[in-house]
Amino acid sequence: MTKRSDFFKFNKNIITAFSISLLTVVLYQNISEGSFESSLQRTSLESFLREDMEDREIFRQDVEVLVGMIIEKDNTEAGELYILARQLKNINEFELAGKVYQDIYNTYKDELDGDVMAEYAQTLFLSGGRKFNNDIDEIINSSLEKNSLNPLTLTLKGLSELEKGNPSLTIGYWQKALPLLSSKKEKDELVALIEVVKKRKNQ
């Protein structure tokens, strides 16, 4: 049996193998099997994860209650928490995703790799009005200590330095991230941003 903390040492690409229905089945087995209320919440979560933003609101209250229950449950597995956090993040529900990532971070901080920390930092940044703060900076720095070659962490670190008025550091972090990006589109976009910062720096 794999230790709960060891989940984060695996290749996270396996997450794509999990369907929404599997996620909800596993979660509800650990919450309150058989109750009518939990059945309704399960349906709400499935719909919430599938619907467009406009149609999502009718399920939000049930899902918010469910997320709170999952976080408070002592025996929810690390993998289940991570799948839920990723699902919420992927549909741009950053505030809800941040709550789940926070629980993962608080419980497994020492075992987490830099990749999960980077996702958590990004989620906090996006849910907080695209502004950095001391907590986000601390998570980014911890992520860099765990993995100095994570392109998301390097991109966030560069953006944080730009907000602090350190464009030279921004350029350095982003240039380090460039060869680590997986797609040409991402690279082209970052190159364009580097050029913009260079021009601003030289004005």
Mean pLDDT of the chain: 82
Task: Please report the pLDDT score of residue 40 as a whole number.
Answer: 59
Task: Please report the pLDDT score of residue 1 as a whole number.
Answer: 40
- What DSSP character marks residue 170? H
d(CA 106, CA 125): 18
d(CA 102, CA 137): 15
Q: Say if CB 5 and CB 111 are below 8 A apart.
A: yes
d(CA 14, CA 62): 28
d(CA 80, CA 7): 10
**Span 147-156, pLDDT tens digits:** 999 999 999 9
Return the top range by mean pLDDT from 27-31, 53-57, 97-101.
97-101
d(CA 34, CA 92): 30
Task: Please report the pLDDT score of residue 49 as a whole number.
Answer: 87
d(CA 199, CA 202): 5
Altogether, the residues listed in the chain come to a count of 203
Report residue 64 as tokens: 């918010």
**Span 66-107, pLDDT tens digits:** 889 888 888 788 888 898 999 999 999 999 999 999 999 999
d(CA 2, CA 4): 6
Task: Please report the pLDDT score of residue 79 as a whole number.
Answer: 86
Share of the chain above pLDDT 90, in %: 53
197 Cβ contact list (under 8 Å, min separation 6): 162, 167, 170, 171, 174
Give the pTM: 0.78
More confident residue, 30 or 105: 105
SS3 of residue 122 by DSSP? helix
